[in-house]
Structure 1
């Protein structure tokens, strides 16, 4: 539920930046919409809305990428700026596990993270089970792989475009955004403000990913509660009553996820928080399933003790990383410049070409 809260909060932040819509009003509206169609439509509604939402996500990313390429007069300039700015560093083989981002931490950590997501995550597994056959389940995964690569590639290109456009006038360093998560909406407003409706497409793209994830999570939580905690102990309940209980649980978990969005607002960088949650929860669960698959001599007591121990250790590490952030030398922060920003008469003017954007500087800057 905490991860789902992060997913609800992120696009609400984007909507707040792009339209000025009240942040918490957007959070509540997002949670209510997801809960509504998940409660009434169940897994089928979740899956079919996901299909259409992927198209919207790609369209939103594409609009930003295409406009950025036009602004920077070609993809070569974006790639060159990113390369010479140190943003394309694939071959850092530093074996130190405490270093934040290296080849080994990304590959090894990413392997276990994605294995946990696709191997033991309830919202994914229930989709495999809902397929007609094992063949259909495998084909759905292959199709998903192509879509996932496309979305990740678009996200990376948007990040490179963001750096290329603002490499000489970083909005974060210049205090034009109050949080790093606001940089992408800031870019959209800057380069697409002359195209009515297109910034809205970006918001729709952000919300498509949210609706997909939140509805899947709510449906999975309700299904697990009914099948594992209610059905085994109340065998006299009819399918109709269980269906109503499932709908009630969807409403309950929808409310919990909205509440968790408030906690997500206190967790700093949202991507880091989301990955931390996947590691804290997914790691012990993946270990439990691996134990059951690979060790025939494992018993119930050992599995339970191992799961609890794994949760304790992973929560200790994860919460500790939030309370005591890594040292700057471990994070290897990259250089950000404001040399291209002209500060005069209380205004901050970016001299980036071909766009010239004027922003009001905070009073403290004047």
Structure 2
């Protein structure tokens, strides 16, 4: 192996630490502010869902920051640098995901008046389905959060000399601190601040990197010559890691499992003061997702233009691809005190926002789905203190899980694999409940079990037996102009085993499936098995299902006759005019009490219109009880 002189040294200086520390101080300060201003509001609804009075702006920023974590800040530019700008296709997946979430899933969750997403599963199916989904969500979120905490801390530690465990524990402590003090409002407003930091950090890198590499035209030309702009690859092979189909189709299922039915997302949407604000938050969030995606992809292209003749990974200057972005930042900003610290703050803003949202969502799910089931007569004060205690417990759990994340490989693939393996089956079971009225609880439970088993089978198999490099088709990288410090190449003469490692028959087929299809596999298995089992065990009659729990998708096909609409609804009476008492009866007492008035705001006759909106004497109400 040839030795090269590493041109970039660890240059993280005092000003960098000051700017980085300011991120943690301001985030903690937001938590303290809401702890003081909200101290008279002692209900769990205020703590967990912000009293359902948030507006679309901060919620949109919070949603974007939470899921555009350090996985995106560090991982996506590295992927683009090595494999090209095919990540642009995720823009299609994001658009499909937001549209389906806003129009199919959100209306049902918002009108149901639930606090935990999994309350819906008990209303629609049974307690057993709710419990199974809750436990899967808790497992998924803790695993994912471990990757989100560990990966950026490790990458920054190995490039900048930043203390690894200091960064990990600081992240866990600060997130737990402001989640416990300020509840959801602190999480949302801190996320909004961190989103601004992420964009500013990206823009700093983009501007300086573009200037140093001859301007946008030169960067674009270099990327084109290096085949980095071959965005669309229509190869239908499902074993290929990244193609148009794996990213747009597989990515839609993966991100729909993250957004459409994920507690962290839905909890912030239902905290909005109206369904209109909740939908608008999702659509504004789509704009934010696109902005961060464009910044990350162009960072990768600029990085390639900078290192086109001296790849620091191949040359051995760094030990893992996830270190490319921080290495590049120190290379171009190292002589400007404070700016490397700004980028590190950008990366950790993604981490803080994701971890905080996860802790808050885990506390909410555990309190609503487990604690309240065991203790029925908790006072508001007791509920609030228990919720805060759960935030502390999950803060410790997520920080501890970061240790195991060192075994999970590349940051982007590891994170999306975890989300896909759990998110797909969860998306499937909610789709069975919301879109297919004939599904019963037995079908939902068996389908969920089969979906989880199948997605974990292929996911764990792919982890143990990685797909051959030929399926990834990495683009060429060069070290032609790296500065050699030892002109004599030295090669290891030790005997190398020529016996290939054992690979079972499924290793090059089933286990080599693109990780972006894990969610689709789990979704399809859950839906197909759920329908079959429901048909065998006795499907549900539509007249026995509360209309508020079903989304009549066929309303989108307005040219259908009433006969075919009713057939698709399986007998659910969506067009039925309902009295005030019947509307109130649709929701259980504990659901009605979750931030919703037991009495309508006006003593006037009301009914549910064809589009499921509550209409009170001709005036549409945006607040449901």
**Other structure's SS at 1:220 match:** helix
1:93 matched to 2:221 = no
Shift >6 Å, 4+ stretches:
none
Distance 1:340 1:72 in 2: 16
Q: Map of 1:106-145 to 2, 5 A cutoff? A: 106-145=247-286
Is contact 1:38–1:215 with CA below 8 Å preserved after alignment? Answer: yes
Q: Distance in 1 between matches of 2:423 and 2:224?
A: 34
> 2:295 aligns to what?
154
For structure 2, which runs of at least 5 residues remain unmatched after alignment? 1-141, 493-625
Matches within 5 A, 1:303-318: 303-318=444-459
CA deviations over 1:74-116 (Å, ceiling 9, x no partner):
1112112212212122221111111111111111011112212
Select the residue among 181, 187, 201 that pairs with 2:342: 201
Aligned match of 1:323: 464
Q: CA deviation at 1:14?
A: 4.3
Contact 2:159–2:323 under 8 Å retained in 1: no
Task: Provide the C-alpha distance between the structure 1 equivalents of 2:318 and 2:222, rounded to a whole number of angstroms.
Answer: 22
Matching residue of 1:260:
401
Which secondary structure state, in structure 1, belongs to the residue aligned with residue 233 of structure 2?
coil
Asked whether the equivalents of residues 239 and 471 of structure 2 are also in contact (C-alpha less than 8 Å), the reply is yes
- Give the direction of change, closer, same or farther, for the CA distance of 1:15–1:330 in structure 2 (3 Å limit): closer
Residue 256 of structure 1 aligns to a residue whose secondary structure is helix
Structure 1: segments with no counterpart, 5+ residues: 348-361
Aligned residues: CA RMSD: 1.8
Whether 1:187 aligns to 2:328 is: yes
Q: 1:57 is matched with which residue?
A: 198
**Bigger-Rg structure (1/2):** 2
Change (3 A) 1:86 1:244: same
Deviation of residue 298 (structure 1)?
Answer: 0.6
Cα distance 1:86–1:61, how it changes in 2: closer, same or farther (>3 A)?
same
Residues 29-40 of structure 1: pairs in structure 2 closer than 5 A: 29-40=170-181
CA distance in 1, matches of 2:465, 2:229: 28
- Shift in Å, 1:247: 1.0
Q: Contact 2:159/2:318 (CA < 8 Å) preserved in 1? A: no
Bigger proportion of residues as helix: 1
Is 250-259 or 79-88 further displaced after alignment? 79-88
Deviation, structure 1 residue 232: 2.4
Rounded to whole Å, the distance in 1 between the matches of 2:186 and 2:152 is 21
Q: Using the alignment, how far apart are the partners of 1:121 and 1:340 within structure 2?
A: 48
Compare 111-120 and 196-205 and name the one that shifted more. 111-120
Following the alignment from structure 1 to structure 2, what is the Cα–Cα distance between the partners of residues 68 and 328? 30
CA distance in 2, matches of 1:39, 1:321: 38
Kindly indicate whether the alpha-carbon contact (under 8 Å) linking 2:209 and 2:302 is maintained by their aligned counterparts in 1. yes
Aligned mates of 2:394, 2:218 — CA distance in 1: 47
Inter-partner Cα distance in structure 1 for 2:377 and 2:170: 37
Q: Secondary structure at the match of 2:476?
A: coil
The residue that corresponds to 2:520 in the other structure is none
Structure number with greater CO (CA < 8 Å, separation at least 6) is 1
CA distance in 2: counterparts of 1:4 and 1:344, whole angstroms: 41
User: Counterpart of 2:484 in 1: which secondary structure?
Assistant: strand
User: Could you tell me which residue of structure 2 aligns to residue 244 of structure 1?
Assistant: 385
TM superposition shift of 1:301: 1.1
Q: Offset at 1:134?
A: 0.4
Displacement of 1:294 in angstroms is 1.9
Please say if 1:215 is aligned against 2:353.
no
Query: Which has the higher mean CA deviation after the structures are superposed, 265-274 or 338-347?
Result: 338-347
Contact in 1 for aligned 2:311/2:478 (Cα 8 Å): yes
What's the counterpart of residue 166 of structure 1?
Answer: 307
Name the TM-score, length of structure 2 as normaliser: 0.55
Q: Indicate yes or no: 2:374 matched with 1:233.
A: yes
> Which whole-Å CA distance do the structure 1 matches of 2:406 and 2:218 have between them?
35
Aligned-partner Cα distance in 2 for 1:297–1:337 = 58
Give the superposition deviation at 1:172. 0.6
The question of 1:276 aligning with 2:405 is answered: no
Tell me the alpha carbon deviations over residues 211-261 of structure 1, each in whole angstroms, 9 at most, x when there is no partner: 111000000000000001111221111121111111111111111111111
8 Å CA contact retained: 2:311, 2:479 = yes
C-alpha separation between the residues in 1 aligned to 2:410 and 2:379?
45
14-23 vs 234-243, which deviates more? 14-23
| Distance in 1 between residues matched to 2:190 and 2:156, nearest whole Å | 20
- Tell me what 1:22 maps to: 163
